[in-house]
Structure 1
Amino acid sequence: MNTILFACLVGGIAGLGVFALIRALTPGRRSALSTVAEIDALRAASAASTTSKAGEADGWRDRLGRRVAQFYLQQGWELRSLRADLAVLERGWEGFLATKLLLGAVGLVFGPFLFVAVSVLGFGLSPIIPVWLALVVGGLFFLLPDVEVRRDAARKRKDLRRVIGAYLDLVAMNLAGGRGLPEALMAAAEVSDGWALMRIRNCLADARITGISQWVALGRLGDELGIEELQDLGVTLGLVADDGAKIRDSLGSRAETMRHRELAEIEGEAGEQSQSMLVAQLLLAAGFLVFLMYPAAMRVFEV
């Protein structure tokens, strides 16, 4: 009976895996954004191929990443949040996909190798276990870059929001000094060479070259990096761009709101750390009490 249930369970899981694989390989419904992105990618690839005939050939890792990215486009997988995380970290999309695929392949090999190492030690294991180990470890290795990117991007976004709060204060000060909005935005971004202000400064410089308004460029930068504060800032500056007093009041209130939010987050993190320290102290005290009570308890039970 147990064998039949195990066989039914294995068959159901295998059928579900085959269905998921077929569903993943079947082209999904694509949005207009993915179609435009594919056209831009093909145009960039053709331009790169025409300009690199006399140059060096791309590495196999770059070619692998481009093929995986093209497959993602064909399937309609946009993954906007992950792309925004990579944009914050200034990492390429194709290289990231190539890393994921290579780590997944390493996991597929590492799973059976782990099974062989355990079986050599004398443990009797089922021969179907290497297949499951390969799939599980391969899947875990495939998802490891996502976890790393999201963790690092969250930390970098926190620093960026802190810089944006100070940047808004600087813009308000420049406006109060009599400068216009474009000059105030650029002057406030030139006070430091940190990576956050460098991104804002490059964004404003590109907007000046391409001829678009700087607040529109800031909104697009917020869309690219996934920063809601920059998106709201671009919308607000577009609405009150002609009134300097309203801009100063709006920037000052936004900077104050961001500072209060940052203080609330810091207090929350401090509270979590204090709770974890309290739990550690309670566990240490419980262990010490057990250490003190153990000899007396042993004497009672011996009697």
Structure 2
Amino acid sequence: MNNEITLAVLAGAVVGLGLYALVRALVPTHRSPVSTVARIDALRMRGTSGPIYAPGPPHAADQARRKGRRDELQARIGERLADLYLQRGWEMRSLRADLALLDRGWEGFLAQKVVLAATGMFFGPFLIAAAWAVGFGVSPAIPVWLALAFAVGFFFLPDLEVRRDAKEKRRDFRRVVGAYLDLVAMSLAGGRGLPEALKAAAEVSDGWALKRIQTALADARITGLTQWQALGRLGDEVGVEELKDLSVSLALVADDGAKVRSSLSARAETMRHRELAEIEGGAGEKSQSMLIAQLLLCVGFLVFLIFPAGMRVFSAS
């Protein structure tokens, strides 16, 4: 009897907490001055890089209307969570840099975390119900705790995915930056000035990394910043330290073309050596893994050969 009352109280508390969080997320409330100022700063930093929507064909408008309610609900949840993070002072700079590198929005990411958490809350009891239907005996108090555990686990799953994808993409971005520095140094050796060399080197390819650099340089002309300041801001946005270091070094020697050229060449060479060291380290780790796998295979083969003889000896004795 006491167990049933405890289970009912826990279930009611979980349901009530979920309903309260849902109502707080959907019902509009007045934003605090801190969140309002932070939102203005975020919009100022975003500048004109946000999407510009133009009227599309009729079928596109119909599709937008069909999914408008779902997108509006997701956007509202994401905005509420973003305001909550701002009010609590949770900046999450590394995670925001990963999202910026992957071209994903902060509010949409938070909404995805909430949706996955809600899915996990129902996934845990579903597993218990399936196990009970098959015939496994389980305690009735397990689904409550399992639902909470799955909700927390599913809530943090997008973080792992974003960090994994951003790590690979940031490695590719660093490779492109090394090649970009070589191109800038070659343009400087050809007699171009530093602003023209930075711009011309970014227009060599249409890859996503050079596109980000092109956009940063174009925004610098609009906002009145120098191009190396724009590169530093881009490095701070996507979490690439090499761009921030490049911005500082260019600000120091921007007026001396020979020093700029030698500095860029040395920096590009350093990045190549670092990349080669990382590749060699990864190859060494893979070699060690293959060696361990071969040793385990040899041990298993020896056990396979020795086991019949050992069984005969023990059975004879």
**1:107-186 paired onto structure 2 within 5 Å:** 107-186=120-199
Q: What amino acid is aligned across from residue 91 of structure 1 in structure 2?
A: R
Note closer, same or farther for the CA distance 1:161–1:34 as it changes in structure 2 (3 Å cut): farther
**Aligned pairs (5 A) from 1:77-88:** 77-88=90-101
Unpaired stretches in structure 2, ≥5 consecutive residues = 1-16, 18-23, 25-32, 55-63
Q: Give the whole-Å Cα distance in 2 for the aligned partners of 1:295 and 1:274.
A: 33
8 Å contact 2:34–2:87 — kept in the other structure?
Answer: no
- Cα distance 1:202–1:38, how it changes in 2: closer, same or farther (>3 A)? closer
**Partner residue, 1:188:** 201
1:34 deviates by: 6.6
CA contact (8 A) 1:34 1:78 kept: no
Instruction: Kindly provide the amino acid, as one letter, of the partner of residue 38 in structure 2.
Output: A
Equivalent residue for 1:224? 237
Calculate percent identity across the aligned residue pairs.
Answer: 70
Give yes or no for the alignment of 1:215 onto 2:231.
no
Letter in 2 for 1:154: K
Matching residue of 1:252: 265
Deviation at 1:43, TM superposition (A): 9.6
1:204 is the counterpart of 2:214: no
2-structure distance, mates of 1:280, 1:211: 58
* Contact preservation (8 Å) 1:111, 1:134: yes
Q: State the partner residue of 1:38.
A: 39
Give the letter aligned to residue 141 of structure 1: F
Structure 2 SS opposite 1:161: helix
Deviations 1:66-117 (A, max 9, x none): 1221221122211010000000000111111110000000000001111111
| Cα distance in 1 for residues equivalent to 2:134 and 2:222 | 67
* Deviation (angstroms), 1:191: 0.7
Asked if 1 retains the 8 angstrom alpha-carbon contact of 2:34 and 2:86, the reply is no
Is 1:297 the counterpart of 2:314 in the alignment? no
Amino acid at match of 1:37: A
Aligned pairs, number: 270
Give the 3 Å change call, closer, same or farther, for CA 280–33 of structure 1 in structure 2.
Answer: farther
Match of 1:271 among 284, 297, 300: 284
**CA offset at residue 120 of structure 1?**
2.3
Unaligned runs of 5+ in 1: 1-17, 19-24, 26-31
Return the letter of the residue paired with 1:251.
L
Q: CA RMSD in A?
A: 2.8
Given the two structures, how large is their TM-score scaled by the length of structure 2?
Answer: 0.79
Which residue identity lines up with residue 173 of structure 1 in the other structure? M
One-letter code of the match for 1:184?
Answer: A
Cα 1:217–1:42 shift into 2, 3 Å: closer
Q: Judging changes above 3 Å, is the alpha-carbon distance between structure 1 residues 267 and 43 closer, same or farther for their aligned structure 2 residues?
A: closer
